């Protein structure tokens, strides 16, 4: 991997350890425009299923096929619901599964893709998972990271848009929640052409918490608790992302 550990000072324009460590990534504004790349979900070709991931889990527990999660002082099985999504890296699940766009599912449900005033999260598209748990015929969007395929498409669009192309110098930040360095997070720098490899960087679990070009003309934000990745930059870049067929880019001006 041609990205190297960089100085913490490169992140100081986003926040300082004394005021904001960017635990789950630094929240970014729209500079001057922004789009959310929705983390991919998939639907199995076999069609609708009434069984949820949580119900399947409890059936397996009852049959002795799974062991309960034990946390001293907490009865997680009694108080929690298994959503069914990934936390971090995700990718196409393989044969029999097809991409299900957020907009397609929202139209099917007759509700907003993301409710106004809210962020794209596990609460979105509630009509598909009223109990909190998704049906087993849908692989819901992962929290905290773009899916692998959308991350690669994002890098391709950025390379095509940036004047420096693949040689454009960039910085990436893995927040403490994902990087394991609880005092500072992990900061690396390198060429945009190698950014696809950051998805498997040993300090992270998918797309970086933030990544930006050295001239700060654009920046990304994958928050550990969200199911969408925000990209902020010039309107021409946002238009290019919306035109890319392999990502689902939504304009959510309230966030």
Structure confidence at residue 176 (pLDDT): 85
The whole-number pLDDT of residue 182 equals 63
pLDDT at 50: 85
Per-residue pLDDT, 1: 64
Per-residue pLDDT of the chain (255 residues; tens, 9 = 90+): 689 999 888 988 987 655 666 788 899 988 899 999 999 999 999 877 889 999 998 898 889 888 877 777 677 677 788 999 999 999 999 999 999 999 999 999 999 999 999 999 999 999 999 999 999 999 999 999 999 999 999 999 999 999 999 999 999 999 887 766 666 789 999 999 999 999 999 888 999 999 999 999 999 999 989 999 999 999 999 999 999 999 999 999 999
- In this prediction, residue 180 carries a pLDDT of 65
pLDDT at 20: 67
Residue 147 CA to residue 163 CA, distance in Å, equals 26
Using an 8 Å Cβ cutoff, are 102 and 41 in contact?
A: yes
Model pLDDT, residue 70: 74
3-state secondary structure 107-153: HHHCCCCCCCCCCCCCCCCHHHCCCCCCECCEECCCECCCCHHHHHH
- How many Å apart are CA 42 and CA 218, to the nearest integer? 29
95 burial class (0-12, 13-18, 19+ CB within 10 angstroms)? Answer: exposed
29: left (phi over 0), alpha (psi -120 to 50) or beta: beta
pTM over 0.85: yes
């Amino acid at each position: 991997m041609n990205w190297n550990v960089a100085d913490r000072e490169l992140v100081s324009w986003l926040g300082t350890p004394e005021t904001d460590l960017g635990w789950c990534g630094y929240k970014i504004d729209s500079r001057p425009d922004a789009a959310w790349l929705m983390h991919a979900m998939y639907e199995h070709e076999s069609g609708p299923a009434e069984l949820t991931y949580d119900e399947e889990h409890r059936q397996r527990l009852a049959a002795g096929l799974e062991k309960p999660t034990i946390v001293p002082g907490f009865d997680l099985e009694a108080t929690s619901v298994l959503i069914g999504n990934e936390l971090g890296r995700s990718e196409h699940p393989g044969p029999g599964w097809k991409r299900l766009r957020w907009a397609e599912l929202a139209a099917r449900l007759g509700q907003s893709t993301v409710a106004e005033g809210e962020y794209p999260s596990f609460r979105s598209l509630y009509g598909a998972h009223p109990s909190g748990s998704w049906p087993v015929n849908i692989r819901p969007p992962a929290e905290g990271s773009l899916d692998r395929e959308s991350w690669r498409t994002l890098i391709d669009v950025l390379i095509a848009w940036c004047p420096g192309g693949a040689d454009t110098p960039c910085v990436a930040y893995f927040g403490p929640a994902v990087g394991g360095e609880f005092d500072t997070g992990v900061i690396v720098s390198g060429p945009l052409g190698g950014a696809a490899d950051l998805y498997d960087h040993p300090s992270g679990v998918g797309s970086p918490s933030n990544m930006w070009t050295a001239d700060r003309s654009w920046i990304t934000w994958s928050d550990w608790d969200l199911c969408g990745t925000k990209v902020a930059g010039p309107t021409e870049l946002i238009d290019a992302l919306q035109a890319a067929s392999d990502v689902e880019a939504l304009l959510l001006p309230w966030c």
